[in-house]
Amino acid sequence: MDDRERPEADDDEETGMDTTYVGIMTVVFLVVAALAVDIGYMYVSEEDLKGAAETSALAGAQAIKQRIQTQIQTDQSKLKDVLSDEEQSTAKGVAVEAVTGKHKAVALIDALNGNTNKLTADNDVTVGFWNMSTHTYTPGGTPVNAMQVRTRRTAESETIGMGALGNFIAKISGDQNFNYTPDAIAAFPARASANIALCVDACDRGCTYPNVCSIPERKMTHEPLNGGSAANRYAYTSLKYQPTGATTLSDLICMEMPPQEVCGKQIFTIQSSSNDALRDIESMMYNPNADKTNKEYDKATGKLRGWWVIAPVTGCSPAQRGDEAERQTVTRYALVRISRICVEGATGCKQNNTAFDAPASVCGGDNGLYIDRIACLDCGSQAMLQFPGLHPVLVK
């Protein structure tokens, strides 16, 4: 062969080697890229598992609370049956769906429902009783007021979608603990949620929970010098938060304060003659997004029938008008349905630059705050442990 042809042959050989090298590297690159995507998509962290357990427990507890509330609204005679139901199949279904979503077959986190109230290899969901006094949970205990959920990785997410290789990578990286199965407990302990405090005179002994009395619509007043019965009086309250120049009572109402455990404790009350705070409470009542799970609507018309709140009850100091906050000791809780709030004048607090007034058809020229359901319970009583709250919270 002519020497002049040899460089061309060498070039062909080098080109062939380059093509082979590029091909190999392309395959390697694609494998690594696929591996990275697979790990990023399939990996379930311990924080993911814990967060899913908490979200699921809250969803299940909310479903139990909603069932109790619906029973109070429809037929109180069967309330005991709801409170003693240790199955709570609907609530358990809600809890599981909160973990897996509607596409369980491709879910990366799972919670097994074995229809028991004991955590086992085949069951991750229990209902039971949360004792707010001792802060202990009894699976299967009654009255049912709590939900427990344990989460785990699915078989697919445990192997990161790559079988033994995924297991190996996760283990050597230290990123996964395959035996980590966190659980969370959510309950709805009785806590005050209203910005009104009632006088003890408002509580009739015949309306002691679980007997929720339907009463003729009662107009309540915050005017301390109106000369009316103390049973119809209320004061504004910011519960345990003291209003200040920087954070006013209006601010506290409009920011939707979290429910607070104040039974037997002191709260701040204001015997103001101003309607400003009432306008704020009115706006919160007719805001469909504020505390929406505790608002009762007419199924036929969609109109708001009432807003369920837990109001603190105090002994009521001698009626004196003033805008200064004073301390009062809470002696009872009152589960109350506010039927309507009507206030003339400027609109109350805004959320997302939107304020709400009572519909004119609801007020008919009337002004004030009205209630039509009430049940009270003494602080420290054994029955208080069975008094349902209105807002599920994580307790573990």
What residues does 152 pair with on adjacent strands? Answer: 110
| Residue reference for tokens 């494998």 | 31
Among the listed residues 25, 34, 261, 311, the one whose alpha carbon sits nearest the alpha carbon of residue 166? 34
Any idea what the Cα angle at residue 353 is, between residues 350 and 357, rounded to 5°?
45
Residue 10: its pLDDT value, please?
Answer: 58
Residue 36: its pLDDT value, please?
Answer: 47
Residue 222: its pLDDT value, please?
Answer: 86
- The token duo for 342 is 């009507």
Do 316 and 334 touch, CB atoms closer than 8 A?
A: no
Residue 353: its pLDDT value, please?
Answer: 74
| Residue reference for tokens 């069951």 | 123
Residue 264: its pLDDT value, please?
Answer: 95
Positive/negative CA dihedral, 185, 188, 190, 196: positive
| Residue reference for tokens 């990578």 | 169
pTM tops 0.85, yes or no: no
Residue 302: its pLDDT value, please?
Answer: 93
Do 268 and 241 touch, CB atoms closer than 8 A?
A: yes
> Mean pLDDT, consecutive 10-residue segments, the chain of 396 residues?
55 61 65 49 77 97 97 92 96 96 75 96 97 95 97 70 50 57 96 96 94 95 72 94 92 92 96 91 95 95 96 80 84 98 90 83 91 96 91 96
Residue 283: its pLDDT value, please?
Answer: 95
Residue 176: its pLDDT value, please?
Answer: 47
User: Which residues, 6+ apart, have CB-to-CB distance to 85 below 8 Å?
Assistant: 144
The tally of CA atoms less than 13 A away on the side-chain side of residue 44 is 29
Residue 340: its pLDDT value, please?
Answer: 97
Residue 161: its pLDDT value, please?
Answer: 46
